[in-house]
Structures are given as structure tokens and as C-alpha cells.
Chain A
């Protein structure tokens, strides 16, 4: 077997092994295996009934609200409008929090306020649209709404606190 061949099938190995294990469990009446398979099937149905739709929504958002367009406004806006803009920008992102640090540097370079930079980080960590979609799917709309509405004032407060705390302290963000 060539290496490229192996790399092609590599993502499917676990699934294949699991399918084998499940089939075996049912054939030989291995009860723990049956229970595990049932729970897998349940969670698979749970996933497949909303994740594809979520990505359609996210894909449409991506073409209608390009991040680059919003990024251009950052820095010039102040007050509520500035806060609003950074939150919207953060909501359109995806990925883990450390992916937000380079964007924070760009915002800083563009002259965004300390407050808005930290509000951006807060919104990035808790309000990304793809993540909200998955959260609604798995933990329910009530949970997601409650968590979001509590988190929002908390990270806006964090932004104000950081601005107050860093005033006159020569704060800068480094390009890594």
C-alpha cells in the first residue's frame, strides 16, 4: 500500500473499525456493543438533522456579509456603533480563540479602541454564528439565549474595564 493510498483512507479508519465492531456486536449479541451503537446512531441522527442546514445558513452569511467589508469600518466608528460593528465582525468569524489574536492585532493597527478590541475578543469567544447554531442544536434555544444574553454585558464590561485599566499604560499588541 502506498503512502498516499493510506492517507486517503486514514480519515475513515475509525469509522470502518466502529462499523465492524457494531456489526459484530449485533451478530454475536454483545450487549455493550449494541448499547454503544444505539447511542452512536442517536447522536448521528441528532447531528445530521441540523448541521447541514446550519452550514447552508453560514455559507449564505458568508457571501452576503463579507468580513473584509466590515473590517474596513473598524477604527473609524466610536461609541455604540463601534461596539456594534466589532460584535458583528466577531460573530461572522469561525475557529478557536487563538485565531482571534491576529485579528485583534489588525484592529489595533487600524486604530480600534482598547475597549472595542476586548469586546471583539469576548464576542469572538462566545457569539460566533456557526457556534451559536451548533449550540442551539445541541443544548437548545433557551440555553443558548440565556448564555448569550448573560455573556454579552459581561464582555462589554470587560472591554470598559480593560480600557480604564490600561489608560496611560502604553498598551500595545504585538505582531507575532
Chain B
């Protein structure tokens, strides 16, 4: 609910400021935004269906056991490995992450999962090697894996 208020007020405010500055630009900005929304809405709905099914099939106790606050290093490792290997667009992974938290996963394991998902890419490593060379690509991924674990630990301490 608070989120909705944040988004409505921020978009209303930016929209208003933009409109006062330049009417034409604002209209084309709105059109761009709507177009992006249209492109994303169908895949998004399909993902929500999938998440609803998965959250029903996977029992909450299992999520708490392996990804909950008490899961410790094992939870971290599962989250890091799955996050590093899989290649999931953000708009898909966030509903999953929020579902996991609602079912009892801890913020720190979810943070590790999300950050490895964003920063470490094993599937895309061959492509990255073509751009940066083997050594640099591997080092970048390793450093980001370490960063993800640090982020997870600190988030667990803060939240």
C-alpha cells in the first residue's frame, strides 16, 4: 500500500514537473512508458501464474528450512549457486523473491540470490570472455560473487 503511494506520488510529481517544462516531451514520455508496459504485461502475467503455482507446490516449511533465517551457510550457498547459474530477467526474479520472503525465506539469502542473479553470469560467461578475455571475465565474476555474499551478510545484519 505504501509502495503504491510512493509510485503514484513520484510519477504524478515527475509528470507534473515535466508537463510544466515541456508538454510535448511529457506526452512522448508517457507514450514510451505505456509502450514498455504493454510489452511487459503478458510475460509478466504468465510469470505470476507460474509463481502462484510454484508457491503452492513448494511447501513453505521447505523454503524456511533451506532459505530461511536459520539456514545459515547452506541457504547462502544454494542462493548463490542458483543465482549465479540461472539467467532470469529482473521483472521475473523480483516477484519470485517477494514470494520466497512471504513464505519464510530470509532477506539475506534473497539478497544473495538477487545479487548473484544480477552480477554473476555463468551462462553468459562464454560471451563475456569474447569481449574481455578469459582472465578478466573470470575475475570479474569471482569478485562479484564475493560482493554478493558480502551484500547478503550485511543485509542480514541490517534488516
A-to-B contact residues, CB < 8 Å: 11-12, 14-15, 18, 32, 35-37, 39-40, 43-44, 46-47, 49-64, 96-98, 101-102, 104-105, 118, 121-122, 125-126, 128, 130-131, 133-143, 146-147, 150-151, 154-155, 158, 161-162, 165-166, 171-174, 176
Chain B binding site: helix, strand, loop or mixed by DSSP? helix
Q: Are A44 and B45 in contact (CB under 8 A)?
A: yes
* Number of inter-chain CB pairs below 8 Å: 209
Chain A proximity mask over B38-53: 1 for CB below 8 Å, otherwise 0: 0010111110110111
Q: Are A146 and B130 in contact (CB under 8 A)?
A: no
Contact partner, A97, options B97, B121, B132, B159, Cβ 8 Å? B121
- From known contacts A136-B3, A174-B131, infer whether A39 and B115 are also in contact, taking CB-CB under 8 Å: no
Least Cβ distance of A176 to chain B in Å? 5
- From known contacts A140-B3, A162-B136, infer whether A62 and B94 are also in contact, taking CB-CB under 8 Å: no
Which residue of the partner chain A has the closest CB to B143?
Answer: A158
Q: Are A59 and B56 in contact (CB under 8 A)?
A: no
Contact partner, B29, options A37, A64, A101, A143, Cβ 8 Å? A64
Q: Are A171 and B136 in contact (CB under 8 A)?
A: yes
Q: Are B131 and A158 in contact (CB under 8 A)?
A: no
Least Cβ distance of B73 to chain A in Å? 20
Least Cβ distance of A13 to chain B in Å? 9
* A-side contacts of B44, CB under 8 Å: 47, 51
Contact partner, B30, options A56, A125, A158, Cβ 8 Å? A56
A158 to B131, CA, bound (A): 18
Pairs across A and B, CB under 8 Å, 29 listed: A11-B43, A39-B52, A44-B45, A50-B4, A55-B34, A56-B29, A56-B33, A56-B34, A57-B7, A57-B11, A59-B29, A59-B32, A60-B18, A60-B30, A62-B29, A63-B26, A97-B121, A102-B131, A121-B140, A133-B7, A135-B90, A136-B6, A137-B94, A143-B155, A147-B155, A150-B151, A158-B147, A166-B136, A176-B127
